[in-house]
Structure 1
Amino acid sequence: MVDTGVFEAIRSVKKNPSSAWPAAPIEVARTLYRNRRARNRHFDDSLFAEPRWDILLDLFIAEEEGRSISVSSACIGAAVPHATALRHLGMMQRNGLIERRAHPRDARCQQVRITASAATSMHELFADLA
């Protein structure tokens, strides 16, 4: 299921062509992620809960910025309870969207990142939207 915020953003650009949709995929991802957080400040989070999309956006942004994300940070970025986020991370890993790896300096911590194929799909999605 695609985030309804994507369609709302496209509609607003079409209504107001002078406002440019960010061309760079990372800017599209940042805009979508900020819009989702803003929406959650005004509505009950459970109305629009899409934690996998939030995690994917967060991991895509981190990958583009060259940052690493811990599993705990990914759970926070999903804006759902920790156990729920872990369940979604597991499903995403089984579906080849993310991969986990050991932290290079802290054996107690795991890092999570978007897979190359999922990142490619995100780039293609944002190119289609631009």
Structure 2
Amino acid sequence: MKNESVVELIKDLTAKLSAVAEEFNGRVAQAAEPVPVGDEPSDDALIEHATLVLAERRMRRKFLPAELFHEPAWDMLLALFASRDDRMPMNIKALVSMSDAPVTTSQRWIEHLHKLKLIDRVIDPTDRRRIEVSLSHVGDQAMKSYLRALLTR
């Protein structure tokens, strides 16, 4: 009886992973469709794609161990790019929550991203305890170039 339960559990998990793989392959095929020459994706399309990539990254953690996908800096860059449509910088606390990493690890990555000139940090003029973070011009251009390359390959 116990072995039958394990076998059924494995079959169920296999079916779910297969469904996720099919969905992923469908999205990859759709994203891989070439964009006609001369048609550059709009900023809205790039933001939408960054949001989709971020959501797909989070979805993986529902099915597989989170430590397999530990890239807090990348998650932060995607989140900052996706939030640029809001025209509001993120504070450190919100950015840390997007990275799914411990606070100290996230803060080290924020410092490193700042040293690489990919993000800007500004003290909130209304609450000097808050630090606002946004993509720098260099970071924004790098993310646009990367996302554009993904959509036009």
TM tier, shorter chain? 0.7 to 0.9
| Selected match of 1:114 from 116, 131, 135 | 135
Q: What's the counterpart of residue 12 of structure 1?
A: 29
Moved more, 64-73 or 47-56: 64-73
Partner in structure 1 of residue 117 of structure 2: 96
Cα 1:9–1:97 shift into 2, 3 Å: farther
The answer on whether the counterparts of 1:97 and 1:118 sit within 8 Å (CA) in structure 2 is yes
Report the Cα distance in structure 2 between the residues aligned to 1:14 and 1:114, rounded to whole angstroms.
24
1:9 is displaced (CA, Å) by 7.6
Structure 2 unaligned segments of length 5 or more: list them.
1-24, 34-40
Match of 1:56 among 77, 80, 91: 77
- The one-letter amino acid paired with 1:105 is T
Task: For residue 111 of structure 1, report the CA deviation from its aligned partner.
Answer: 0.7
Q: Deviations over 1:65-91 (max 9, x none)?
A: 212200111100011111110011111
TM (norm. structure 1) is: 0.82
Identity of aligned residues (%): 25
Q: Which has the higher contact order (CA 8 A, sep 6+)?
A: 2
- The answer on whether the counterparts of 2:119 and 2:133 sit within 8 Å (CA) in structure 1 is yes
RMSD, matched Cα: 2.1
What secondary structure is seen at the aligned counterpart in 1 of 2:132? strand
**2:60 aligns with one of 32, 39, 63:** 39
Q: Secondary structure at 2:104's aligned position in 1?
A: helix
Q: Deviations over 1:31-86 (max 9, x none)?
A: 00000111112221111111110000011112232122001111000111111100
CA contact (8 A) 1:10 1:129 kept: no
TM-score if structure 2 supplies the norm length? 0.70
Larger Rg: 2
Which amino acid is the alignment partner of residue 53 of structure 2?
Answer: L
Compare the two structures and name the one with the higher helix fraction: 2
Long gaps (5+) in structure 1: 1-7, 18-22
Query: What count of residue pairs does the alignment treat as equivalent?
Result: 118
CA contact (8 A) 2:92 2:133 kept: yes
Write the distance in 1 (CA, Å) between the matches of 2:26 and 2:71.
Answer: 17
* Structure-2 separation of matches of 1:11 and 1:50: 21
Distance (whole Å) between structure 1 residues aligned to residue 102 and residue 26 of structure 2:
27
> Residues 31 and 150 of structure 2 are in contact (CA less than 8 Å); yes or no, is this contact kept in structure 1?
no
Tell me what 2:12 maps to: none
